[in-house]
Structure 1
Amino acid sequence: MSSPTQPRTYPHGVPCWVDTEQPDVDAATAFYGALFGWTFTDKMPPDAPGRYVVASLDGQDVAAIASPPDGSDGTPEWITYVAVDDVGATAGAVAADGGVLLSGPETVGPPGRMASVQDPQGARFRLWQAGTRLGAQRVNEPGTWNFSNLLTPDPNRALDFYGPLLGWELDPALGAGMFRVPGYGDHLAHTIDPGIFERQEFAPPGFADVAAGVAAVDGPARWDVAFSVADRDESAAAAERAGGVVLSTSENEWTREAVVRDPQGARPTLSQFAPQEWG
């Protein structure tokens, strides 16, 4: 029987963590602290060459803000990590599936091992083999990571890469916009969410296995990271007060969303779960 106090774990192929590398870590913590109510803990020694600051909500890890590697001059972005059982084996298969291994695998101390990857269409993400850092411990509620969505010009080509590498499937019964990891729902039911199937009785079979989203877009492929908020408009206004810019707003059958640009250039999505409320 699962316990509500047990840690959240992530099986192979399921996105498990998000972070962002920002030139001014203190400025980033000020922005996201004001936006989401996060508190922060530096995880690197004071004499380390860089910083890795873990964000928490009510004492549970939700995301992180890091300083960029030496020589990095790209625009900051939110990075999605995907859990794997063996980062060496998975990283070794990246090129065969058409992707590029950008760095690693490398051990980052007790937290775990990682590798940076670029998919065949240019979207970057990371593989994560957990050690002491299992992944985000609080999700899908205001102020926490909600979902990662692959924005790509060719979803079918993307599946040709992510399917063999991570075991992802696209099920027509769920619609074209949802990657599923078979067995993920069973994992949740046996660990931290015993009522998931009863709560999702309205949904088609396989809905509990959904692990990531995919959408066809023009332009370069990238991973978009969405955070839950209680009220899109209030959170968008809070982002502006903290120095961000609202780039766009949208509504659909289930959510009200805003894409914002933080003061250093990263573009998270703010997502309010509001089925039909916008109409």
Structure 2
Amino acid sequence: MARRTSYTAGTPNWVDLTTSDLAGAQAFYGAVFGWSTREVMPGFYSYFVDDDGAIVAGLAELNETQIARGMPPSWSMYVSVDDVAATADRARELGGTVVFGPEAIEETGALAAVADPQGAVVLLWQPAPFAGAEVVNGPGLWSWNDLQTPDPEVASPFYEALFGWTTAAIPGADGVYRTIGHEGRNIGGIMRAPAGVAHPYWTVYIGVAELDATLERIGAAGGQTLVEPMAVPAGRFAVTMDPQNAILCLVESHEYDD
């Protein structure tokens, strides 16, 4: 698989895990997906890398400020932008909130975290020069994202205006799910959150070749299956939780058969 060196503005480009136990997360994701880690900011940030040495995601430990705010272990999604400060300002104009930044990361890029009007947080990334995940969309790789929110139709306009996305209701879904399109292809979805979800959030999906076998590895490594495998037009998916309680979705797609 060819390695990516760039993402156009408005394209999701990176995911990372912020956790309460670095060693535990390294062991779990190594056992489940075969990932190893490469420290890039000593004591602060590492990359998950696959068997070929390609960068697939990020890993950081919850800091004192995040813990004080009650932030749980979680996966986050980033979207590539040309100007992080201007995009953060635009998020404010659209009714969102700037949660963090913008802040420059030396010799890497600049980031900010913004919350949509319903409170779901997405991160903005301006590459300089780090573009994001080097490989995507395959087994053991980041492959999809969904926004879990009480009202997909209400949430959609914010993202359409901020990133230039298009969203469309799935026929027959009764408003439960909308696809997200960008530059002629589907890149994610917006889903009506199940009852009991108190706060909207973005979910990260990792592709797998064999969903049932992956769920067995997750259980053996100390994780849990929260939603058993379900069939969708693209294949099957499941929702899991790692040992530190970060939610991670899996998707077994027909596109991975090759």
TM-score (norm 1): 0.82
Superposed counterparts of 1:1-279, under 5 Å: 7-45=4-42, 50-57=43-50, 58-73=52-67, 74-171=71-168, 177-181=178-182, 184=183, 206=184, 209-218=185-194, 219=197, 220-249=199-228, 250-274=230-254
CA contact (8 A) 1:148 1:225 kept: yes
**2-side partners of 1:81 and 1:54: how far apart?**
15
Amino acid at match of 1:158: A
CA contact (8 A) 2:148 2:191 kept: yes
Amino acid at match of 1:20: L
Number of residues of Structure 1 aligned to a counterpart in Structure 2: 244
**2-side partners of 1:66 and 1:177: how far apart?**
31
1:44-94 per-position Cα deviation (integer Å, ceiling 9, x unaligned): 13xxxx421101111111001101232222211110001101001001111
What SS does the aligned partner of 1:28 have? helix
Larger Rg: 1
Amino acid at match of 1:210: N
What SS does the aligned partner of 1:230 have? coil
Q: Which has the higher strand share?
A: 2
Any unmatched runs of 5+ in structure 1? 185-205
**2-side partners of 1:108 and 1:230: how far apart?**
35
Q: CA RMSD in A?
A: 2.0
**1-side partners of 2:7 and 2:138: how far apart?**
18
**2-side partners of 1:262 and 1:7: how far apart?**
28
CA contact (8 A) 2:237 2:249 kept: yes
What's the CA shift for 1:5? 5.2
**1-side partners of 2:2 and 2:232: how far apart?**
34
What's the CA shift for 1:177? 2.4
Any unmatched runs of 5+ in structure 2? none
1:202-242 per-position Cα deviation (integer Å, ceiling 9, x unaligned): xxxx3xx2222111224332101000011111000101111
**1-side partners of 2:222 and 2:169: how far apart?**
41
CA contact (8 A) 1:15 1:212 kept: no
CA contact (8 A) 2:224 2:240 kept: yes
Amino acid at match of 2:17: T
TM-score (norm 2): 0.88
What's the CA shift for 1:171? 4.1
Instruction: Identify which range, 109-118 or 247-256, moves more after superposition.
Output: 247-256
The runs of at least 4 consecutive aligned structure 1 residues that moved more than 6 Å come to none
**2-side partners of 1:10 and 1:56: how far apart?**
19
**2-side partners of 1:253 and 1:141: how far apart?**
17
Task: From the superposition, tell whether residues 38 and 170 of structure 1 become closer, same or farther in structure 2 (CA, over 3 Å).
Answer: same
Amino acid at match of 1:241: A
Amino acid at match of 1:261: M
**2-side partners of 1:158 and 1:5: how far apart?**
34
Identity %: 36
**2-side partners of 1:82 and 1:168: how far apart?**
11
CA contact (8 A) 2:4 2:133 kept: no
What SS does the aligned partner of 1:10 have? coil
